[in-house]
Amino acid sequence: QYKGNYRMRIYERPDFGGQMMEFMDDCPSVYDRFHYHDIYSCNVMDGHWMFYEHPNYRGRQYYMRPGEYRRYSDWGGMNPRVGSFRRMMDSY
């Protein structure tokens, strides 16, 4: 199992612009915590994460490994909608 830290920053605008929030744990509702329905860019600093299109870990999934994602198309998204995300606790 991955025993390291988990750290990720999400942004309301492309290229790491606008409002930013840092997370180190699972988030069943992005809107409840971030107050935006859309994530336009993301910086995964530690750990592996899974984005979900809808709240409560439902819908289309996007696997996020450490790195910079300047726009939602960088993680394969058709649009910037992210409803929830969680840490991937399995080994890689």
pLDDT in tens, 11-66: 999 999 999 999 999 999 999 999 998 999 999 999 999 999 999 999 999 999 99
DSSP state, residue 83: -
Instruction: Give, in order, the Cα–Cα distances in Å from 65 to each of 19, 43, 74.
Output: 22, 10, 12
pLDDT value of residue 1 = 46
Is-above-0.85 flag for pTM? yes
pLDDT value of residue 4 = 73
* Phi and psi angles of residue 53, each rounded to the nearest 5 degrees, phi first: -65, -30
Cβ neighbours of residue 32 closer than 8 Å, sequence gap 6 or more:
none
Domains observed in the chain = 7-87 (2.60.20.10)
Using CA atoms, how far apart are residues 35 and 74, in angstroms rounded to an integer?
22
